[in-house]
Chains A and B, each alone.
Chain A
Amino acid sequence: MEKTLTRIAWFVGLVLAQVLLFNKIYLFGLATPFVYVYFILALDKEVDKNKLMLLAFVLGLVVDVFCNTPGVNAGASVLLAFSRERLLRLFMPREEFENFEPGIGSMGIWPFLRYAFLAVLLHHSALFLLEAFSFAHIGYLLLRILCSALLTVMLVMSIEFVRHRS
């Protein structure tokens, strides 16, 4: 019960931070962070894959409503939720325990950073490609994906550091 409430609090908190703050950031005309993916990255494994995908869909759709891009964030988030297990397996310590919760506490700083970067890159690639729906300005698009991913990962790591310390 307490766990569920914590999850809901993270969900709502990240959505609010995304739509009220991070959506307005447009650094150097290139980078917009999508910090809400932290919810999908760090959710404990007690939530099974299908539930994770459904949660990611709802999360993405809520963000989409505030971006006027129905389907874009939702699609990218579902893709990330779907591939999360495979990505985790690349960096996870050998012994897999029951309610594993991805984070620097359970994985170590570097493995988590690499996991987060790869996951965010996947999510942002899907996001920006779905949004543009063309390869017309592919160079600019790739630059936007990379810069935004770097910014998102930086913010995700900051959240993770603060959370780990407390």
Chain B
Amino acid sequence: MLGFWIQNLNLVFVNSLLQFLYKHNHWLLFIALEVVCVVLLFSYNSYQGSVYLSTANAVSARLLRGQDKVTSYFGLAAKNKALVAQNAALQERIFALEAISSQHLLDSLSKEEALQRVHRTGYRITPAQVIDKSVNRTDNYITLDRGIADGVEPDMGVMGIDGIVGVVYKCTEHYSLVMPLLNSKSTVSCKVQGSDLGYLQWEGGDPRYAMLHDLPRYADVAVGDTIVTSGNSSFFPEGLMVGVVNELYPSSDGLYIALKVELATQFARLEHAFVLGRMDADELDALKELLYPKKDKKKKN
């Protein structure tokens, strides 16, 4: 008798629960969908996460590349001019460096040996086309039309014609996603040319400026000074153009100063990029593995 009552009660309870769920089923669906969204939002931030939910997946990248093929015809003249100017500047540097090397190196080293030495510590440059970019979000990304198949890997540095762009974040077979300076998670070690170290971060808003933090108070710096990469990380060699000091701010504790840097790269107009692959990256990784076994995968570029 008692069992029957309990069973009955149970049935009534289950029934009303089902009825409640049925009546409010759109609430359930709403909550379920929003939970999925939040999970997606957070899992994307984890390093090496869902590359397929990005502009680097095959379908979206192909569509964006098609668009880029059409739109990139506009302004070809200006682009050619910029490339010619860069070529000229590079040629000048080659002449200057050859002059120096002929003075110093060849005394004790044959040219082949010298080149081999350069090869070991140099960077392999992969040219790439920017097929998609944004500058209007807190976390911006750039999509390039080069991927694993072209030798591009996560953690490689990326530069443009005018200055550095960012670091490769995720790769698919033929495309890659770059975390540019204009991303709240990007940190790049920089220095005032010929002087002190700091790190560059973007704080949202205007895509033309970023902040250089942690520069010691005594640093010898003035408005108009050039900011370059420090060479402290494996992403970029030393001395690549980052930007020009626009304003100085003392920090609240008075120990450091922060610089507002006008970025050399015009992200809104970026069309070409060069991926820098370090020749000795494997060796360097092996060494890092020895020093910091596995765990510390989080990078600080």
Q: Residues of A with Cβ closer than 8 Å to B?
A: 19-20, 23, 26, 29, 32, 49-50, 53-54, 57, 60-61, 64-72, 74-75, 78-79, 82, 130-133, 137, 140
Contact = CB atoms under 8 A, between A and B. Distances in A.
Nearest to B133: A24
B54 A71 contact: no
B53 A82 contact: no
Given A53-B30, A71-B44, A74-B37, A132 B55 contact: no
Contact of A57 (B33, B42, B54): B33
B54 A79 contact: no
A74 B26 contact: no
A75 B136 contact: no
B57 A78 contact: no
Contacts of A20: 63, 67
B101 interface: no
Contacts of B25: 50
Contact of B55 (A54, A68, A78, A140): A68
A70 B40 contact: yes
Given A50-B26, A53-B29, A137-B204, A65 B38 contact: no
Contact of A66 (B34, B44, B60, B138): B60
A69 B184 CA distance: 13
B64 A53 contact: no
A49 B30 CA distance: 10
Contacts of B43: 70
B279 interface: no
Given A71-B37, A71-B39, A71-B44, A78 B30 contact: yes
A153 B206 CA distance: 25
Contact of A68 (B34, B42, B177): B177
B194 interface: no
A50 B107 CA distance: 79
A91 B53 CA distance: 37
Contacts of B33: 53-54, 57, 74, 78
Given A70-B53, A75-B41, A140-B205, 18 more contacts: A19-B63, A20-B63, A50-B26, A50-B29, A53-B33, A65-B55, A66-B132, A67-B134, A68-B54, A68-B134, A69-B41, A69-B137, A70-B50, A71-B44, A75-B37, A79-B30, A137-B204, A140-B204
